[in-house]
Amino acid sequence: MPSIPTISDVEAAAQRLTGYAVQTPVLESERINDQLGCRLLIKAECLQRTGSFKFRGAFNMISGLSDEERSQGVVAFSSGNHAQGVAAAAKILGIKASIVMPANAPQIKIDNTRGDGADVILYNRADGNRVAIAKKIIAETGATLVPPYNAPEIMVGQGTLGLELFQQTKDRGVCLDYLLGPCSGGGMISGSAIVFNDRSHSTKIYTVEPVGYDDTALSLAKGERVKIEPGTPSFCDALLLETPGETTFAVNKELLAGGLVVSQAETAVAMKTAFREYKIIVEPSGAVALAAALSGKINTQDKTVGIICTGGNVDATTFKDVLNGEYD
């Protein structure tokens, strides 16, 4: 297993990302705060370059490749947001990118990945093997694999989100009691946990996952990585993983307070709330942390709670259906 990253690694990643990643805003709604009896601070990473936090990790890793590695290109597999992050980072750095994506990924994610010049290879999520496809490309081209979460360079790049959020809340004169973030492989939440463990040790950090795909919540409860059988289909396409990453979980099992689970209906309410109250478009996977707060998965009374809205790449049809109550 690779070595566990440190706060110094996150700070170094933040330097590499300066001038490339967007410092996304922290948003607040007095109406929602009054309704919940707490203070919610929304980290709107849906406004990041490519529409999600994934650009941070991808750029951090790719920018550190040698000239020889760059000449052979990069390859990644992703349901969409990591794909876009890798494609955008590779375009900026002048590197060829090949991305393996499920054929049923949201069309906006496929189109945006191709739009940044990447070669997109589609596979059937039900019976295809994205890792095997990526390995074949590597064998043929010598390309470097850019994993979606289970690598220190990815974790610390994504952890710059947490570094920003800590500073933004500090500038407001507040300390977060809780921090809630969506979780799939665990790269973003582990990188952010490294930051808050160093800078704000009292902040309790929770992952949030959709019903049927709560592998991290179950793993945290058991103290070891658990592999689940996939549940019923979910519109949270970026969070459909069966087991946490090895390196990410090594961090998360030590630094996180636990895992929360939300339903599809609760997630839809959060998407509508984000649009109505915070004036942002958040995709289903990016809205689960807000859903957990709104539906009372933990007691937030009189607390200050950080909510990470990780992405905004949702197809227009799905978003329209959410607004029209089709998922309630």
Q: What is the pLDDT of residues 296-318, one digit of tens each?
A: 999 999 999 999 999 999 999 99
Residue with tokens 């227009």: 316
Tell me if the domain spanning 7-52+155-323 has CATH number 3.40.50.1100.
yes
Residue ranges with strand state E in 187-246? 204-210
The predicted-structure confidence for 168-192, as pLDDT tens digits, reads as follows 999 999 999 999 999 999 999 999 9
Between the CA atoms of 193, 198, 204 and 209, what dihedral angle is there, to the nearest 10 degrees?
0
CATH topology for 55-145?
A: Rossmann fold (3.40.50)
Establish whether domains 7-52+155-323 and 55-145 are of one fold.
yes
Question: With contact defined as beta carbons under 8 Å apart, do 295 and 28 qualify?
Answer: no
Report the C-alpha gap between 21 and 297 in whole angstroms: 32
Q: Of 308, 307, 319, nearest to 283 (Cα)?
A: 319
* Count of CB atoms situated within 10 Å of the CB of 103: 11
β strands within 159-303, DSSP E = 178-182, 204-210, 258-262
Q: Read off the pLDDT band of 2 (50, 70, 90).
A: low
For the cut 80, the answer to whether the pLDDT of residue 245 exceeds it is yes
* Stretch 24-30: mean pLDDT: 98
Alpha carbons 256 and 162: distance in angstroms, whole number = 14
Q: Where are the domains of the chain?
A: 7-52+155-323, 55-145
